[in-house]
Structure 1
Amino acid sequence: MKGLIRTPAIIYIFLIILSIILGFLSRMVTSVPLWVGDVLWATMVFFMVRFIFINQALKQVVIISLLFCYGIELSQLYQAEWINQIRQTTFGKLVLGQVFSWGDMLCYTVGIVIGALIMKMIGANKNNSFLNG
């Protein structure tokens, strides 16, 4: 259809920003469980990886996203003073986290699956073309 946004990159940027906003809102509303933010963080990571590897198959983007998220979580097992100082900053808390949790691994998996399902719902195929454009 003519007139629709045809550039997938713009859609990914929108989805990244939306994930960030929803993630911050989830942390501001005390009645929202903390795991919701973890799911949204992984969804944001998925959209960022999709943006960076825009021409890769969806399956590859899922694998890269999972490896990144799991790597970040596993890095929390490393407790050196220099990285713990980074983890004490706002940026460090948001990106690196602080404490390893198997529950977080599950949240990351769910968040990435949600991202992949959104890609399927909006019609992005493995060549990154959109059915509407």
Structure 2
Amino acid sequence: MDKNRFRFDGKSFIICIILFLVELVIAKTSGFIRHTFGDFLVVILLYYFVKSFINTEPKKIAIGVLCFSFLVEILQYFKIVEILGVQDNKLMRIVIGSTFSFGDLIAYTLGIITVYFIETYRVKTA
């Protein structure tokens, strides 16, 4: 394994922290902002979290985050919180989610497309 694959990227981590704080504010809202825009932003947050520690191509991070997000959403379809017995744990229900939605899959996809194009454009202009 390449010894330069793991490193700390402070800029990406700061973006991740800012997005996390935005997500906390969004969690206090309801409707479109929470259920759609929050899902759109969460994959961008995850992208920058991974990018904070792993030095690889934006495409690889984007695909990995999107696959992870889809997996979590599919697990929601199969009621993973009930299978794990954590349905009464509010934090776990928020982190894992408890309701499957095709709209979430669309929001994740649009979020990843957005961050991928931002990162690709940024790399080309740097």
Alignment of 1:20-99 (within 5 A): 20-30=20-30, 33=33, 34-54=35-55, 56-79=56-79, 81-83=82-84, 85-99=85-99
Aligned letter for 1:46? Y
Q: 1:8, CA displacement in angstroms?
A: 6.8
Q: 1:31, CA displacement in angstroms?
A: 7.0
5+ residue gaps in structure 2? 1-6
Maintained 8 Å contact 1:12/1:47: yes
5+ residue gaps in structure 1? 1-6
Larger mean CA deviation between 56-65 and 29-38 belongs to: 29-38
TM-score by length of 1: 0.73
TM-score by length of 2: 0.77
How many residues are treated as equivalent by the alignment? Answer: 118
Matched, 1:16 2:12: no
Percent sequence identity is 19
**Cα displacement string for residues 71-101 of structure 1 (whole angstroms, at most 9, x for unaligned residues):** 1100112236342x42442332332110111
Q: Which residue of 1 aligns with 2:3?
A: none
Q: Which residue of 2 aligns with 1:108?
A: 108
Inter-CA distance 88–15: structure 2 relative to 1 (3 Å threshold)? farther
What RMSD over aligned residues (CA atoms) do the two structures have, in Å?
2.5
Inter-CA distance 87–119: structure 2 relative to 1 (3 Å threshold)? farther
